[in-house]
Structure 1
Amino acid sequence: MGNMFKSLKMAVVGALAALTITTVATAQILTVDDERVEREAAAYKDFNLQTAELRQNILQLRQFITRGGVVEQQLADLEKRKAIIGNDKYEEEKRKLESQYVQAQQALSQLEYTFDKLRQEAMVQVERARQPVIRALLNDRKAQVIMLKRLVLGSAAGIDVTTEFIEKLDAELPTVSLNMPQKADDAAAPAQGEGQ
Structure 2
Amino acid sequence: MRNIATKLIQAVTGLALATSITVSAAADILIIDQERVQREAAAFKDFDLQTAKIRDAIIALRQRTSPDGFWDQTAVQFQQRMVAELDDLEKRKSIIGNDAYETERQTKEATFQTEGQQMRQQLQNETNQLRQLELYFDNLRREAQTQVERARSPLLREILKERGAEIIMRKSLALETASGLDVTTEFIERLDDSLPTVTLTLLQQAADTGEATDEVPVSPEGQ
Which bracket does the TM-score occupy, shorter chain normalised? 0.7 to 0.9
AA paired with 2:185? T
Cα 1:169–1:90 change in 2 (3 A) is same
Alignment of 1:188 onto 2:210: no
* Paired position in structure 1 for 2:56: 56
Would the aligned equivalents of 2:53 and 2:214 in 1 still touch at CA under 8 Å? Answer: no
Following superposition, the deviation at residue 16 of structure 1 comes to 6.1
Following superposition, the deviation at residue 13 of structure 1 comes to 7.5
Q: Which piece of structure 1 moves more, 115-124 or 71-80? A: 71-80
* Paired position in structure 2 for 1:23: 23
Cα 1:38–1:186 change in 2 (3 A) is closer
Percent identity, please.
Answer: 44
Q: What does 1:87-166 align with in structure 2 at a 5 Å threshold?
A: 87-166=109-188
What RMSD, in angstroms, separates the aligned Cα atoms of the two structures?
Answer: 2.5
Q: What does 1:38-57 align with in structure 2 at a 5 Å threshold?
A: 38-57=38-57
* Paired position in structure 1 for 2:35: 35
In structure 1, stretches of 5+ residues that fail to align are: 1-6
In structure 2, stretches of 5+ residues that fail to align are: 1-6, 87-106
With normalisation by structure 2, the TM-score equals 0.76
Alignment of 1:67 onto 2:64: no
> What CA distance in whole angstroms lies between the structure 1 residues aligned with 2:60 and 2:212?
14
Question: Secondary structure of 2:114's match?
Answer: helix
Q: What does 1:7-18 align with in structure 2 at a 5 Å threshold?
A: 17-18=17-18
What do the CA deviations read for 1:77-97 (whole angstroms, capped 9, x no partner)?
Answer: 211221179222111111111
Following superposition, the deviation at residue 128 of structure 1 comes to 0.5
Following superposition, the deviation at residue 33 of structure 1 comes to 0.7
State which structure, 1 or 2, has the greater radius of gyration over its C-alpha atoms. 2
Following superposition, the deviation at residue 99 of structure 1 comes to 0.3
Cα 1:186–1:8 change in 2 (3 A) is closer
What do the CA deviations read for 1:124-149 (whole angstroms, capped 9, x no partner)?
Answer: 00111110110111011111110101
Paired positions, count: 188
Alignment of 1:167 onto 2:186: no
Cα 1:142–1:78 change in 2 (3 A) is same
AA paired with 2:70? V
AA paired with 1:142? G
Cα 1:195–1:185 change in 2 (3 A) is farther
* Paired position in structure 2 for 1:3: none
